[in-house]
């Protein structure tokens, strides 16, 4: 979403300014009735008409007072369009770039996501793994995070993490070093360089991947926001790997969200003499997390049965015939094999150059298909690792 | 068994000279018909009469030739009595010191055990854990083995291991340092100082615990004997902990025996960057071994539900009313609570001194019981951690 916002998208953007994400009451109301009526009610200072039970109206009346506090900070639709011109974009549920996995959060789903970076968030997250862990990582934890991230990135997997010091930074850097895509999910605005020492890292992530936040540009991180943010890390990724974590730590909070979402949860063991391995051992022993000792373990655990991970010729494939709006499947387990590519997608695949790159219009011309169909097929092919964007457009993905 | 051997015990001792342990054919014949008829048949060079099927007679005829090879080495009953006077003793199935757990080995059960040391093997093994691992242990592995062993020994648990360099030695030393009982199960005679660098360690184990072998005095270790010996380590202990092990290693062989016997199997995780942790991670991930990070984890896993490990006031207790020959239960899970002590055992418990020590005759006098009953009760009380032997006789066990 980079052009003019429609009413519902503007309302969702506005809610990121007015309310904290993870507010289950507001989340449920927005899911049930849309963001625009909620924004109108907050602006009007009235309880929405669609609430008819006395209890619901009373609860809403109390909550409205919180949501109204920040009305003075609310930007106009033009302000938001200005942000978008400055390299920041908005993704709302239903937008092509909205990762369908987030729907699993239910009422805790973000109202909208603010994005900064070159990668398409939805496509990036199809084959993605969250690598999380301690800020005060040991050399062992940093090494493992970096190695795992580089290895999964080399096989076409996106590394999702939180942009923090320690394990997060090592994971992002490992993915970047392998020319992979990495997603940083922040607890502050995507334009806020936090931590300050990571300003360059966040810019590098934006250049090669995408920086994501549920909070609007300019908003600062708080302790609570880190915890709220963690559910989004877990929800965006197909699975979560804990590299190093103390017994009661923020990294375990992400792991708990992954578990509660029913997502594959993994942990890397370490010396029992290290307090920073205690949380990993808890994940393995008490939370039935999978013990992983290599990136291959991670990919194997996240891949559908029988598919050779990282090998596109054997990897699962979305059906590019999926209609607009649904786009490529986001659950790897539900994806189909390459043989199941429809004729249009197969034609696009054949038209893709293996070196250099090609614009979508030229691909359309080679494939003999209309540009819209080609764009849809390219998205699906990228999502399952057959195609990738490059400076010159699109190309076959290196296997 | 230190006095004159009966015919069956002599035959079992003789079989340890003539055959290698773990010979399932001989084991099954001995279980079915007794050792004495088998020894007589081997000496006579005839197939035993009790084999009546043609196939069984043919198989026995081939095997008899192997068993007869060493007949010239066979010591007389007097020779064996001489060994026993020299501090070595024999334990056969049915003897008071025979650990009933070994019966789980079925046809692979040792013909007999040769013992050297001060501790009673059966009582020592009631609450026992095997701590096994790599000979080429890292500092981490040696530290963990020694710490675990000392901690479980402090809580009254016996440490069983193989007397080798590395993890084994660290485990034995940890138990000794904590004034605990430790059992070394050798792949050579109990009088053979192997490895040579462990002569002092083995003597220290004998002074405070017991050195055990299925091979007769004087017999040397071989590579195959280590593997055969491993099943006895696993079978003697209530559970097995793997501290450090490479992917295909002897320590994993012990672990596999524990698994195959249905005994609790545990492993200590370590850095994934260490090859010597790979076997431990395999045990956890592929063999459903419990990940343990402390001695408390080990004891909790081995203790019956609801019993506070290491606390005698809450720990399980054998019924000292068990008849002679069955002795105290050897399965901790089948033991009863302290409240279930019968009147005789309670009287013996009351008569025990908490400092110094007291001979069993004096305890009998204080408790008003006959000496045989007192000895039986002392055995049972020792087996469940309420009483212990000391230089002056018996005393209450420190909790």
Say whether both B276 and B380 belong to one domain. Answer: no
Whether residue A103 lies inside any domain: the answer is no
Whether residue B179 lies inside any domain: the answer is yes
Which two tokens mark A391? 């400076």
Structural domain ending residue among the three candidates A77, A105, A137: A77
Residue B184 · residue B158 · CB < 8 Å: no
Which two tokens mark A389? 């964007």
Q: CA–CA separation, B271 vs A269, rounded Å? A: 6
Instruction: Note the pLDDT of residue B398.
Output: 63
Task: Give me the residue from A271, A281, A284 closest to B271, CB to CB.
Answer: A271
ipTM of this complex prediction, to 2 decimal places: 0.72
Task: Give me the residue from B140, B281, B290 closest to A273, CB to CB.
Answer: B140
> What's CA A20's distance to the chain center, in Å?
18
Chain B: nearest CA to A8, how far in angstroms?
Answer: 48
B272 contacts in A (CB within 8 Å)?
144, 268-270, 293-294
**CATH, residue B349:** 1.10.10.10
Q: Report the candidate in B54, B155, B98 with the shortest Cα–Cα distance to residue B388.
A: B155
Handedness of CA B19, B24, B25, B28 (dihedral sign): positive
Residue A156 · residue A129 · CB < 8 Å: no
User: Residues B55-58: contacts with CB within 8 Å, 24+ apart?
Assistant: none
Q: CA–CA separation, B46 vs A117, rounded Å? A: 87
Say whether both A381 and A288 belong to one domain. Answer: no
User: Residues B275-278: contacts with CB within 8 Å, 24+ apart?
Assistant: B275/B246, B275/B247, B276/B133, B276/B134, B276/B136, B276/B137, B276/B138, B276/B141, B276/B244, B276/B245, B276/B246, B277/A269, B277/B244, B278/A293, B278/B245, B278/B246, B278/B247
Q: Do B284 and A284 touch (CB under 8 A)?
A: yes
Instruction: Note the pLDDT of residue B331.
Output: 32
Whether residue B105 lies inside any domain: the answer is no
* Cβ neighbours of residue B82 closer than 8 Å, sequence gap 6 or more: none
Q: Do B269 and A277 touch (CB under 8 A)?
A: yes
B270 contacts in A (CB within 8 Å)?
269-272
Task: Give me the residue from B284, B290, B293 closest to A272, CB to CB.
Answer: B293
Cis omega (within 30 of 0) on the bond before A195?
yes
Q: Do A269 and B273 touch (CB under 8 A)?
A: no
Q: CA–CA separation, B277 vs B230, rounded Å? A: 20
Q: Report the candidate in A281, A287, A276 with the shortest Cα–Cα distance to residue A249.
A: A276
Chain A: nearest CA to B210, how far in angstroms?
Answer: 30
Residue B33 · residue B50 · CB < 8 Å: yes
Which residues partner with B289 through β-bridges?
A: none
Q: Which of B138, B272, B280 to mutate to test binding with chain A, by most A CBs within 10 Å of its CB? A: B272
Number of domains in chain B: 3
Which residues partner with B186 through β-bridges?
A: B213
Output b/e per residue, A2-15; b: 16+ Cβ within 10 A: eeebeebbbbbbbb
Could you report the per-residue pLDDT of B310-368, keeping only the tens digit for each? 333 333 333 333 333 333 333 332 233 444 567 677 778 877 876 778 888 888 877 77
Q: CA–CA separation, A283 vs B291, rounded Å? A: 11
Residues of B within an 8 Å Cβ radius of A: 140, 143-144, 268-273, 277-278, 281, 284-285, 290-291, 293-294
User: DSSP label at A317?
Assistant: B
Q: CA–CA separation, A274 vs A224, rounded Å? A: 27
Cis omega (within 30 of 0) on the bond before A377?
no
Q: Do A281 and B291 touch (CB under 8 A)?
A: yes
Q: CA–CA separation, A378 vs A372, rounded Å? A: 10
Say whether both B134 and B269 belong to one domain. Answer: yes
Q: Report the candidate in B266, B269, B285 with the shortest Cα–Cα distance to residue B277.
A: B269
Whether residue B381 lies inside any domain: the answer is yes
Residue A153 · residue A175 · CB < 8 Å: yes
Q: CA–CA separation, B233 vs B228, rounded Å? A: 10
Write phi, then psi, for A117 (nearest 5 degrees).
145, 170
Please name the residue of chain B whose CA is at the shortest distance from the CA of residue A289. B285
A291 contacts in B (CB within 8 Å)?
269, 281, 284-285, 291
Chain B: nearest CA to A296, how far in angstroms?
Answer: 13
Could you report the per-residue pLDDT of B235-260, keeping only the tens digit for each? 999 999 999 999 988 889 999 999 99
Instruction: Note the pLDDT of residue B311.
Output: 39
**CATH, residue B233:** 3.40.50.450
Q: CA–CA separation, B220 vs A282, rounded Å? A: 44
Say whether both A260 and A363 belong to one domain. Answer: no
Q: CA–CA separation, A376 vs A345, rounded Å? A: 9
Task: Give me the residue from A143, A271, A285 closest to B140, CB to CB.
Answer: A271
**Structural domain of residue A384, as residue ranges?**
332-396
Q: Report the candidate in A179, A182, A16, A163 with the shortest Cα–Cα distance to residue A83.
A: A16
Q: CA–CA separation, A384 vs A372, rounded Å? A: 19
DSSP string, A330-364: S-GGGPBPGGG--HHHHHHHHHS-SSS-B-HHHHH
Say whether both B297 and B218 belong to one domain. Answer: yes
Q: Which of B144, B244, B269, B278 to mutate to test binding with chain A, by most A CBs within 10 Å of its CB? A: B269
Structural domain ending residue among the three candidates A51, A77, A103: A77
Chain A: nearest CA to B332, how far in angstroms?
Answer: 24
Whether residue A290 lies inside any domain: the answer is yes
* Cβ neighbours of residue A80 closer than 8 Å, sequence gap 6 or more: A5, A10, A13, A90
Say whether both B131 and B240 belong to one domain. Answer: yes
Say whether both B129 and B275 belong to one domain. Answer: yes
- Look at the block and give the residue holding tokens 């370490």: A270
Residues of A within an 8 Å Cβ radius of B: 140, 143-144, 268-273, 277-278, 281, 284-285, 290-291, 293-294
Q: Which of A292, A293, A297, A301 to mutate to test binding with chain B, by most B CBs within 10 Å of its CB? A: A293
Whether residue B382 lies inside any domain: the answer is yes
Residue A267 · residue A242 · CB < 8 Å: yes
Q: How many residues comprise chain A?
A: 399
Chain B: nearest CA to A271, how far in angstroms?
Answer: 4
Chain A: nearest CA to B230, how far in angstroms?
Answer: 26
Q: CA–CA separation, B143 vs B276, rounded Å? A: 14
Say whether both A295 and A155 belong to one domain. Answer: yes
Say whether both B369 and B266 belong to one domain. Answer: no
Q: Do B270 and A270 touch (CB under 8 A)?
A: yes
pLDDT along chain A (399 residues), means of 10: 77 93 90 93 88 85 83 89 87 91 94 96 93 96 98 96 97 97 97 94 97 95 89 97 92 92 96 96 95 96 58 35 34 37 74 80 79 82 80 77
Q: CA–CA separation, A19 vs A71, rounded Å? A: 10
Chain A: nearest CA to B396, how far in angstroms?
Answer: 34
- Look at the block and give the residue holding tokens 């005789």: B344
Say whether both A337 and A285 belong to one domain. Answer: no
Q: CA–CA separation, B215 vs B229, rounded Å? A: 9
Structural domain ending residue among the three candidates B63, B85, B107: B85
Helix (H) / strand (E) containing B89: strand B89-91
Task: Give me the residue from A273, A281, A293 closest to B272, CB to CB.
Answer: A293
Helix (H) / strand (E) containing A113: strand A113-117
B294 contacts in A (CB within 8 Å)?
272
Low-confidence stretches of chain B (pLDDT beneath 50): 1-2, 306-339
Chain A: nearest CA to B308, how far in angstroms?
Answer: 20
Chain A: nearest CA to B271, how far in angstroms?
Answer: 4
Say whether both B297 and B235 belong to one domain. Answer: yes
Whether residue A311 lies inside any domain: the answer is no
Instruction: Note the pLDDT of residue A256.
Output: 93
Whether residue B310 lies inside any domain: the answer is no
Q: Taking CB atoms and an 8 Å cut-off, how many pairs form between chains A and B?
A: 51
User: Using CA atoms in the order A224, A228, A233, A236, what is the torsion angle rounded to 10 degrees?
Assistant: -160
A271 contacts in B (CB within 8 Å)?
140, 269-271
Helix (H) / strand (E) containing A160: strand A158-161
For chain B, percent helix, then strand, then coil, each to nearest 5?
A: 50, 10, 40
Say whether both B134 and B81 belong to one domain. Answer: no
């Amino acid at each position: 979403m980079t052009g003019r916002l429609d009413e519902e998208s503007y309302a969702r953007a506005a809610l990121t300014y007015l309310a904290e994400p993870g507010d289950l009451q507001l989340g449920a109301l927005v899911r049930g009735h849309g963001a625009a009526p909620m924004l109108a009610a907050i602006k009007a200072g009235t309880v929405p008409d669609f609430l008819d039970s006395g209890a619901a109206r009373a609860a809403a009346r109390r909550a409205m007072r919180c949501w109204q506090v920040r009305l003075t900070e609310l930007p106009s639709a033009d302000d938001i369009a200005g942000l978008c011109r400055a390299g920041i974009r908005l993704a709302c549920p239903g937008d092509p770039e909205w990762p369908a996995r987030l729907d699993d959060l239910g009422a805790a789903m973000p109202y909208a996501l603010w994005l900064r970076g070159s990668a398409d968030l939805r496509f990036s997250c199809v084959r993605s793994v969250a690598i999380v862990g301690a800020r005060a990582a040991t050399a062992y934890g940093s090494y493992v995070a970096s190695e795992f991230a580089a290895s999964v990135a080399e096989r076409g997997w996106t590394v999702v993490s939180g942009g923090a010091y320690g394990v997060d930074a090592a994971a992002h850097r490992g993915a970047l070093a392998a020319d992979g895509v990495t997603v940083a999910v922040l607890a502050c605005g995507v334009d806020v360089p936090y931590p300050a020492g990571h300003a360059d890292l966040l810019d590098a992530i934006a250049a090669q991947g995408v920086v994501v936040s549920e909070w609007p540009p300019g908003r600062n991180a708080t302790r609570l926001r880190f915890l709220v943010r963690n559910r989004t890390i877990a929800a965006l990724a197909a699975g979560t790997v804990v590299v190093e974590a103390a017994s009661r730590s923020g990294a375990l909070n992400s792991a708990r969200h992954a578990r509660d979402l029913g997502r594959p949860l993994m942990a890397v063991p370490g010396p029992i003499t290290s307090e920073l391995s205690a949380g990993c051992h808890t994940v393995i022993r008490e939370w039935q997390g999978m013990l992983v000792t290599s990136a291959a373990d991670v990919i194997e655990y996240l891949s559908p049965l029988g598919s050779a991970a990282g090998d596109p010729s054997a990897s699962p494939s979305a059906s590019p015939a999926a209609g607009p709006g649904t786009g490529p499947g986001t659950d790897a387990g539900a994806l189909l094999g390459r043989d199941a590519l429809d004729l249009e997608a197969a034609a696009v695949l054949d038209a893709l150059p293996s070196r250099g790159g090609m614009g979508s219009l030229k691909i359309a011309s080679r494939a003999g298909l209309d540009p819209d169909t080609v764009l849809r097929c390219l998205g699906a092919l990228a999502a399952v690792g057959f195609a990738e964007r490059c400076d010159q457009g699109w190309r076959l993905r290196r296997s």
